[in-house]
Chains A and B, each alone.
Chain A
Amino acid sequence: MNKVTSTTAEAVASIPDGARVMIGGFGGSGAPIELIHALIDRFRATGRPGNLTVINNNAGNGDIGIAAMIKSGMVAKMVCSFPRSSNAEAFNEKYLAGEIELSLVPQGTLAERIRAAGAGIPAFYTPSSYGTELAEGKPTEEFDGKMYVRERWLKADVALIKGQKGDPMGNLTYRLAGRNFNPLMAMAADRTIAQVAELGAPGSIDPEQVITPGIFVDTLVEVPEPQQEEVLVRTGVVY
C-alpha cells in the first residue's frame, strides 16, 4: 500500500468547488500551512475550488493560511468556535461586510461533532450550550435530572491535516500540542490528506506510538521542516 503523493499541489488537485473542508490545527499549532497554500495556489491559477465551507477551531490569523484563503475569496462559510484572534482582520472584515457566513459552535461540541461523524454516530446529547442562544431550535432532553442539547455529527468532504511522522500506510504521529483536532478530522472526512514532516518506510513508526491509524488517511505528502503559522504571523509574512 502506498498513499504517498509527491507534491502538495497533487495532493489537493481534486478538491471540488463547494467542498466542505476540515482543516486541522488550533491557532497555529498543528496547522497544515503548506497544504492550505497549495489550495490557494490552485484557486489563484484556475479559479477553483471556490465557495468552500471551512471547518477549523478559528478563522485564520494574519495574512497566511486560512486567513489568506478567506482573503482570496474562496471561502463562503466558516464553522468554528473562536473566530476572534489578535490578527483576524481577514475574517472580521468579510464577516462584518456580510460576505462570509459563520456557524459558531462551542469548542467541545465542535470536537465531539467531528468525532461522532468519524465514529458513525449521527447525534449525541451534551450539556454544553443548554439554555443559551447557541442551543436555540435544537432538541433538548433530561437525563438523570439534568438537561442536555442534541447535536448532530459534522462531516466533511476533505480534511487537510498536519502530522509529524508518517508512513506509506497512512499511520501518523503528531508534534506536541499540534495534535488537537487533527486526529478527529482525519476520521470525519470522506478523504483525508495529511502533510508530514518525516516520511518513513512501513514499520518506521513503532505501532505502539501510532496516534492516527492509516485507515483514516487517504493521501500523504512529505513537507520537511514545515512552516509554523504563528511564526509566519509574527514575522509579518503575507501569502
Chain B
Amino acid sequence: MSDFNLMDDKLSNARIAWRAAQDIEDGSYVNLGIGFPELIAKFQPEGRDVTYHTENGVLGFGAAPEPGQEDWDLINAGKKAITLKPGASFFHHADSFSMVRGGHLDLAVLGAYQVAQNGDLANWRVGSKGVPAVGGAMDLVHGAKRVAVITDHVTKDGGPKLVEACTFPLTGVGCVTRVYTSLAVVDVQDGHFVLREKLPAISMEALQAVTGATLHTDGPVGDLIVPEDL
C-alpha cells in the first residue's frame, strides 16, 4: 500500500517485544539481553511457565522490587534490582556460562546493530572509538537452541539493519535464527532471510526496499498483528 509511512506506522519497541514474547514456549529457559530485550518478560503470555536466566548467576528471577525495597546484592546482568520466584537458584559465573554455551537455554534474545542474511550478528560496538565493552553477548549467541534478535527494521537514518554482510564488528558468526523487527518477522535459514510475517499495511516491495538483503519466501507470509494498546 502506498500510504504506509515507515516512521509512523512501524511497531513500537513494546509491540516488537510483545510479538517476540508470543513465541516463548511453556517450560522454557530464557535469557533476555540487557535493555530492549528485557521488555519481553512483561508480555509473557499467561499460562506459560518460563524460567529466566541472568549471566551473573540467577535462575528463576522475577520483576523488579518496589522502589525502596531493592537489595543490591540481588541484581540482573543489567545491574538492575530483581526479585526471586519460588524455586530460584544461585550459582557462580562458570556454571552460569555453562548453561549458556552448553546448550541448556532454550532461547536467548538480543538487540542488534546489524544482522546479516547468514545469521552473523553485530551488536557490541559500531567502530573503534570510545570504550569497548562486550559483556556476555559473545557467549549468549552460542549454545541457546534459538538465538533471536529484536530490533527496529531500519536505523535512525532509515538505513537497513538486515544486511547481506555486517559492516560493524561482529558479535558472532552465523548465530541468529530469527529476527523480530518493527515491520516483520524474518527467519535466517540456509544463508537467506526468509520472511514469515509482515505488517499488513506494508507492501512486499516497500519492505524489500528497506531491507539490505533479499527477503525470500517459502510459503504464505503471515500478517504481523500486534495489539495497539501496549
Contacts and interface: CB of A to CB of B under 8 A. Distances in A.
Q: Do A and B bind each other?
A: yes
Contacts of B139: 106-109, 126, 128
Nearest to B130: A96
Interface string A117-145: 00000000011111111100000000000
A127 B96 CA distance: 16
Interface size class of A (residues with CB under 8 A): 35 or more
A30 B75 CA distance: 11
A195 to B, nearest CB: 14
Interface in A28-83: 28-30, 57, 81-83
Q: Is the interface of B mostly helix, strand, loop or mixed?
A: loop
Contact of B91 (A106, A115, A179, A230): A179
A27 interface: yes
Contacts, number: 142
B138 A129 contact: yes
Contacts of B132: 83, 102, 104
B75 A131 contact: no
A105 B100 CA distance: 16
B48 interface: no
A218 interface: no
B134 A134 contact: yes
Interface of B: 55-58, 71-75, 77, 79, 90-94, 96-97, 100-101, 120, 130-139, 142-143, 169-173
Interface of A: 26-30, 57, 81-86, 88, 91-92, 95-96, 102, 104-112, 114-115, 126-134, 147, 174-184, 211, 228-231
27 contacts: A27-B56, A27-B75, A28-B79, A29-B74, A81-B133, A81-B134, A82-B134, A83-B132, A91-B131, A96-B130, A104-B133, A106-B135, A107-B93, A107-B134, A107-B136, A114-B94, A126-B139, A127-B101, A131-B170, A132-B172, A134-B134, A177-B58, A179-B57, A179-B90, A179-B92, A183-B92, A230-B72
